[in-house]
Structure formats: structure tokens, C-alpha cells
Amino acid sequence: QVQLVESGGGLVEAGGSLRLSCAVSGTIFNINVMGWYRQAPGLQRELVAHISSGGRTNYADSVKGRFTISRGNAKNTVYLQMNSLKPEDTAVYYCHVVHFNMDYWGKGTLVTVSS
């Protein structure tokens, strides 16, 4: 069983920064991909960024240049540094990992950006 716990969400003014963290625990052998998705009210869940086990990253166009995804030294943590936040970044952010071709999700952390 793999568990994901996010932290770091909160309320921030436009232009501010937040750093999200996700800790993965359980029986872990090889996490292929770690990433972040978000879901705003009334919208579908969308990819924000992901990082492969080899360190390759991919970002949604809407966050390129503002957000940075990284993995911790222990490889079972993933971070999302969010700078220059905009009101449209307001959403619940979900941590996601692929482990042995299975998808695992955290419960989400709310990010609210005020204008």
C-alpha cells in the first residue's frame, strides 16, 4: 500500500509564493513518475507538473517559468515551488505518483490566491 500526504497549501496574495510538499510512504520499490495535478471548482483535474525517476520534468504551459517541481534526496518526496501566483492558480492541488504502473493520489491541499 502506498500513501501520499500533501502539505503546504494555504492562502496567499497574488504575486506571492507557496511551496507544496508530498511525502510518499508504504511499500515502495520504484516510483516512476511523481507529479502534481490541480482541480479548480467546476473544472476538470489538470496536470500541473511531473518529474520522472530520471529527473525529466514537464509543466503545463500556464505555470511554466513560475512553478518548479523537484524530488527530495530520499526520492520519496516531491515538491512544487510556486512563485508569482495568480488568482487563477486557486485550486486543490493533488500529489500523484506512478508505482509499478499503478496510479496513487493524495487527498489534496487547497491553494487560494487572492487578488
DSSP code per residue over 14-74: TT--EEEEEEEEES-S-EEEEEEEEE-TTS--EEEEEEETT--EEE-GGGTTTEEEEE-TT
| Digit-coded pLDDT (tens) for 7-53 | 999 999 999 999 999 999 988 877 889 999 999 999 999 999 999 98
Which carries the bigger pLDDT value, residue 30 or residue 102? 102
- pLDDT, residue 73, reads 77
- pLDDT, residue 32, reads 84
- pLDDT, residue 100, reads 86
Which carries the bigger pLDDT value, residue 100 or residue 35? 35
- pLDDT, residue 31, reads 83
Are 22 and 30 in contact by the 8 Å Cβ rule? The answer is: no
Q: Which residue has the cell 492558480?
A: 89
For residue 114, give the 3-state DSSP assignment.
Answer: strand
- pLDDT, residue 28, reads 80
Q: What is the dihedral of CA 20, 49, 66, 112, to 10 degrees?
A: -50
| Digit-coded pLDDT (tens) for 44-98 | 999 999 999 889 999 999 999 999 999 987 778 999 999 999 999 999 999 999 9
